[in-house]
Amino acid sequence: QSVLTQPPSASGTPGQRVTISCSGSSSNIGSNYVYWYQHLPGTAPKLLIYRNNQRPSGVPDRFSGSKSGSSASLAISGLRSEDEADYYCAAWDDSLSGPVFGGGTKLTVL
Amino acid sequence: EVQLLESGGGLLQPGGSLRLSCAASGFTFNNYAMNWVRQAPGKGLEWVSATSGSGGSTYYADSVKGRFTISRDNSKNTLYLQMNSLRAEDTAVYYCAKGTSYYYDSSTYYWDYWGQGTLVTVSS
Per residue, what are the HEC states of B61-105? CCCCCCCEEEEEECCCCEEEEEECCCCHHHCEEEEEEECCCCCCC
User: Where does residue B62 rank: exposed (0-12), middle (13-18), buried (19+ CB within 10 A)?
Assistant: exposed
Tell which of B47, B106, B119 to mutate to test the A interface (max A CBs under 10 Å): B106
Q: Which chain B residues contact residue A50 at CB under 8 A?
A: 110, 112
State the average pLDDT over residues A40-62: 95
CB B109 to CB A56 under 8 A? Answer: no
Which pLDDT does position B91 carry in this prediction?
Answer: 98
- pLDDT digits 0-9 by tens, B93-111: 999 999 999 999 888 899 9
Beta strands B3-7 and B18-25, pairing class = antiparallel
In single-letter form, the type of residue at position A81 comes to S
Q: Which chain B residues contact residue A94 at CB under 8 A?
A: 106
Spatial distance between the Cα atoms of B117 and B93, rounded to a whole number of angstroms? 6
Spatial distance between the Cα atoms of A19 and A75, rounded to a whole number of angstroms? 4
Which pLDDT does position B111 carry in this prediction?
Answer: 96
Q: Considering only CA atoms, which of B88, B71, B81 is closest in space to residue B16?
A: B88
Which pLDDT does position A41 carry in this prediction?
Answer: 82
Q: How far is A39 from chain B (nearest CA, A)?
A: 10
Which pLDDT does position A3 carry in this prediction?
Answer: 94
State the average pLDDT over residues A12-32: 97
Which pLDDT does position B82 carry in this prediction?
Answer: 98
Longest dimension (CA), chain B: 41
**What percent of chain A has a predicted confidence (pLDDT) above 70?**
100
State the average pLDDT over residues A44-70: 97
Phi, psi of B114 (to 5 degrees): -130, 155
Query: What is the helix (H) or strand (E) element at residue A110, kind and residue range?
Result: none
User: Where does residue A97 rank: exposed (0-12), middle (13-18), buried (19+ CB within 10 A)?
Assistant: exposed
State the average pLDDT over residues A65-84: 97
Which pLDDT does position B108 carry in this prediction?
Answer: 87
Which pLDDT does position A42 carry in this prediction?
Answer: 83
Q: Among partner residues A42, A47, A88, which is closest to B45 by beta-carbon distance?
A: A88
Average pLDDT, chain A: 96
Which pLDDT does position B27 carry in this prediction?
Answer: 97
CB A44 to CB B110 under 8 A? Answer: no
- A58: Cβ contacts below 8 Å, ≥ 6 apart: none
CB A45 to CB B45 under 8 A? Answer: yes
State the average pLDDT over residues A21-50: 96
Inform me whether the pLDDT recorded for B24 exceeds 90: yes
Q: Which chain B residues contact residue A98 at CB under 8 A?
A: 47, 59, 61
Q: Which chain A residues contact residue B59 at CB under 8 A?
A: 98
State the average pLDDT over residues A33-53: 95
- pLDDT digits 0-9 by tens, B39-98: 999 999 999 999 999 999 999 999 999 999 999 999 999 999 999 999 999 999 999 999
State the average pLDDT over residues B16-38: 97
Sign of the Cα torsion A73, A74, A76, A82 reads: negative
Inform me whether the pLDDT recorded for A91 exceeds 90: yes
Q: Which chain A residues contact residue B112 at CB under 8 A?
A: 47, 50, 56
Inform me whether the pLDDT recorded for A1 exceeds 90: no
Q: In chain A, whose CA is at the least distance from the CA of B93?
A: A42
Q: Among partner residues B4, B61, B109, which is closest to A92 by beta-carbon distance?
A: B109
Which pLDDT does position B66 carry in this prediction?
Answer: 97
Q: In chain B, whose CA is at the least distance from the CA of A29?
A: B106
